[in-house]
Chain A
Amino acid sequence: MEPDSKRRKTAEPNGASAWEVQPVLSELESRDIRLMPVYAAPVLDKKETCRLMKEVSAIYPLSNYPHLKRIRACLSAGSPHPLEMILCLAGLNGEQAGLRSLAELFPSGEVDFCGLGKPFLAHVPACAPLTRPQYEEAASHWPVSFHENKRISQALKGCLFSPLEKDRMQGYMELAIQAAQQGARQGMEPIGATVVDPATGRVLAVGHDCREGSNPLLHAAMVCVDLVAHSHGGGAYSFEDYPACTFLPADNSTQPPPSLEDGLPYICTGYDMYLTREPCMMCAMALVHSRIQRVFYGAPSSHGALGTTHHIHSRKDLNHRYEVFRGILEDQCKRLACKESS
């Protein structure tokens, strides 16, 4: 478990509602530690440890599981032996692993059993831990090695963003909430979005869901992708009927955005999107195509593709990945969702 106390360090600006930014990690990073059965045995004579390690490892190198430490110390004072050692995998192919004798596990006779106790079944982490919570869970089962990613750990502790940054994030989400409310007044789903260029802090587009209009695919994220296209002189839809859908016209900028020079279709490169609600599969993939840099959403959704049902932002088999954080003004965003008629 991660320490709760550290989260409190980022004091909320006075009067602001409390909310926490949580990173939405990849599927591998956020899943529970899976365990697998192994045969282990007590090391009764500590002096034999080194030799036993060598001999056992020669027969069962466990080379697919480099994260596993072969030996664990038995810390409890009442333990009859000081160390335990993993011998080999057990029942990996689904068959029920029964107890085996040392002679059955090492029939070749190349291991001298001197100093080794009776084998028993243990359950150990099947994969290397990627995050500190995973490491802590894994290590509670059996010692494992862990290469900590400092940035992920910081993010998980909630101290990746300064109070000033959180203030700005809140402002961008408030714009999205206002747009959602204005859209809702026109009979739309109360979902809003803001696109920001974090390099300049400029708001490039604000939009809301328009799916109840003429096109059921005009979800808030799709609307904003097209508004950004408009702001760069493109765009496929007219938002004239929706005054709350706005974009920063290209002429206003003192210099053309870097993307204009070398990558017109990837027009969201380097941009952040704030969404009141976790986007669906279509929208999450649209943001991959648009090369968005980061997505911040308020409330999760039951068919959301950025953490709930899928992790579209962090797939190695797609050509672009983006960072996702959730929880910005979560309560307000959740309240928006409650107003939905569906």
Chain B
Amino acid sequence: MMEAAKRWRVSAGETEAWMDRAVDMAKDALENGEVPVGCLMVYNNEIVGKGRNEVNETKNATRHAEMVAIDQVLDWCHQHKKEPEEVFTHTVLYVTVEPCIMCAAALRMMKIPLVVYGCQNERFGGCGSVLNISSATLTDTGEPFQCIAGYRSEEAVEMLKTFYRQENPNAPKSKVRKKEFSK
């Protein structure tokens, strides 16, 4: 972690600019009935991947913003004939919400060194809220990554609240469901 901190420093201005874009992605998700999380992956000062939640769209509950962005970076590497490992190990992720346990594990496997995020993810967070996948040394998969939290976190929380207030039409209705099953 110390090493990562030395190698990966992002200026406040840079962070502001990228996080603004990530927040826009989250807004787009919200407008499309998806959990409002948006992210960017930045390599050499260039956006090489961006994503927002696409769970409803793809009918795949693992299509979180980070997973979408990782796929885009892989495509970018393919198009630009770059080694994914070289690119990912020099890429910073800007995301509006703390990555969940699944995404944190994926980021480790891709060896992303630094994640800048907005608000905590109390339900699923993998960078300290529920589990600490980001800094765990025990898992023998991938590399730990450094986190910088708190950029535009109030807005990120506000968007999540708006989303959950809408009462997700896709959330399972546990008891009612059972009755429907037995029909």
Could you list which residues of chain A lie within 8 angstroms of chain B, going by C-beta atoms? 199, 214-217, 222, 225-226, 228-229, 232-236, 258, 261-270, 280-282, 285-286, 288-291, 302-303, 309-310, 312, 315, 317-319
Contact = CB atoms under 8 A, between A and B. Distances in A.
Q: Which interface class (under 10, 10 to 19, 20 to 34, 35 or more) fits B?
A: 35 or more
A214 B60 contact: no
Contacts of A268: 61
Contacts of A289: 61-62, 100, 102, 124
A222 B70 CA distance: 14
A262 B59 contact: no
B104 to A, nearest CB: 8
Given A258-B180, A262-B177, A269-B177, 17 more contacts: A216-B84, A216-B109, A217-B67, A217-B106, A228-B60, A229-B58, A235-B58, A258-B181, A262-B173, A264-B59, A281-B139, A282-B102, A282-B103, A285-B100, A288-B102, A289-B61, A289-B62
B61 A291 contact: yes
A214 B78 contact: yes
A237 to B, nearest CB: 8
Nearest to B55: A265
Given A236-B63, A317-B130, A318-B130, A285 B71 contact: no
A235 B59 CA distance: 6
A265 B59 contact: yes
Contacts of A286: 61-62, 102
Nearest to A292: B61
27 contacts: A214-B78, A215-B71, A222-B62, A226-B58, A229-B58, A229-B60, A232-B59, A233-B59, A234-B59, A234-B60, A236-B60, A236-B68, A262-B170, A262-B173, A262-B177, A262-B180, A265-B60, A269-B172, A280-B105, A282-B102, A285-B102, A285-B124, A285-B126, A288-B124, A290-B60, A310-B131, A318-B124
Contacts of A281: 101-102, 105, 133, 139, 141
Of B56, B70, B101, B138, most A-chain CB atoms within 10 Å: B101
B105 A264 contact: no
Interface in B57-109: 57-63, 67-68, 70-71, 74, 78, 84, 100-103, 105-106, 109
Interface of B: 54-63, 67-68, 70-71, 74, 78, 84, 100-103, 105-106, 109-110, 123-124, 126, 130-131, 133, 138-141, 170-173, 177, 180-181
A315 B123 CA distance: 11
Contacts of B109: 216-217, 282
Contacts of A318: 123-124, 130
Contacts of A282: 102-103, 105-106, 109
Contacts of B59: 229, 232-235, 264-265, 267
A290 B62 contact: yes
Contacts of B123: 318-319
B125 to A, nearest CB: 10
B74 A215 contact: yes
Contacts of B141: 280-281, 303
A319 B101 CA distance: 13
Contacts of B55: 265
A262 B167 CA distance: 13
Nearest to A269: B172
A286 B58 CA distance: 14
A216 B111 CA distance: 11
A263 B126 CA distance: 25
A199 B177 CA distance: 14
